[in-house]
Homo-oligomer: A and B are copies of this chain.
Amino acid sequence: MSRAPISETMTAPVTVGVSLGDRSYDILIGPGLVAKAGAELARRLPGVRAAIVTDANVAAHHLEAFQASLSASGVDAQPIVVAAGEKSKGFDTLQEVVSGILEARLERGDAVVALGGGVVGDLAGFAAGIVRRGMLFVQAPTSLLAQVDSSVGGKTGINTPHGKNLVGVFHQPQLVLADTDVLDTLPAREFRAGYAEMAKYGLIDRPDFFAWLEKNWQAVFDGGDARVEAIAQSCRAKAAVVARDEREAGDRALLNLGHTFGHALEAATGYDGSRLVHGEGVAIGMALAHRFSARLNLASPDDAARVEAHLSAVGLPTKLSDVPGGLPGAERLLTYIAQDKKVARGALTFVLTHGVGQSFVARDVPSSQVLAFLEESLRP
């Protein structure tokens, strides 16, 4: 209680509620939330004990402050530090995390806290979903991508040699703490990659938000209130889709806008982040989805040009030729698309659009049309 005056001098965080019945939860977005983490946990989950799952990079920047915050509020917490990078998103590291949680003798009413980006969130969330058949889960996302995408909606999981995110559970967190200050230390390229997912929400069904981003993107990159506002709008947009379709039976597929092409490009570049990171694949994928929609006479080419212009303005790639190191031919790219797990029963499913903010799920796209479009897009 003696720390209350200090808290009150800081900007109050924005709260976005995710409505999922008895699995509803709050996302807090704002500066200084690492320092407030202990107080929020102690207040919302009284008596809870915790394991903090993080990676070596994030631990170096934020673990000490995070642990101090929990400790100051009397929340007993055990850190579990995994190697940084996508390779930690597999069965081996999952077992490490599960063992760490069990070693700490945490019970079903205790919490696994994910302090990190998407990999840590997916891994820790999966562990929280399976240890003792489901423990409490708290997300403290430290990348822009995790704050606007992977920390909302309850998808958790790991990769296997067969593909990405093929194993996991839906496990909703009790609380998400998105500290916007921690984004200041992100490399510019990683911030831009997260921005691609923000733009996506505008392109799916929020044309006003897309127009707002066209005007205010520089302020979002700079930080401050515009950044908090953009993250909050993104979380609201995703929360609305997830509330309509928690388990991806229908509408939630809209969130894959740009992802079918994007995942194929990630696969075609061997998931080599030095060539293409996920958000860059999504940026190219969104531009392609708009051009493909125009090619099919579903949308105006002007919209495709507008999307491409904005993504280019912020420094994101938009063309297949933007991928360094070259790509395989159209046939091979189509193979990567058909292996995508979102392809249901052999039919090619794409998120297409009638224009900015008018996306829809097309479940019957002939692969011959995709192939022709890829061939066209690969031409210099």
Contacts and interface: CB of A to CB of B under 8 A. Distances in A.
Interface of A: 91, 95, 98-99, 102-103, 107, 109, 126, 129-134, 155, 157, 160-163, 166-170, 247, 341, 344-345
Nearest to A126: B130
B99 A160 contact: yes
Given A91-B91, A160-B98, A166 B132 contact: yes
Tally of this chain's copies: 2
Contact of A130 (B134, B163, B167): B167
A157 B169 contact: no
Nearest to A249: B108
B107 A344 contact: yes
B345 A107 contact: yes
A169 B91 contact: no
A340 to B, nearest CB: 12
Contacts of A161: 99
Contacts of A155: 133
A102 B166 contact: yes
Contacts of A129: 169
A134 B102 contact: no
Contacts of A133: 155, 157, 168-170, 247
30 contacts: A98-B160, A98-B167, A99-B160, A99-B161, A99-B162, A102-B160, A102-B162, A107-B341, A107-B344, A107-B345, A109-B344, A109-B345, A126-B130, A130-B130, A130-B157, A130-B167, A130-B168, A130-B169, A131-B166, A131-B167, A132-B166, A132-B167, A132-B341, A133-B157, A133-B168, A133-B169, A133-B170, A134-B169, A134-B170, A134-B247
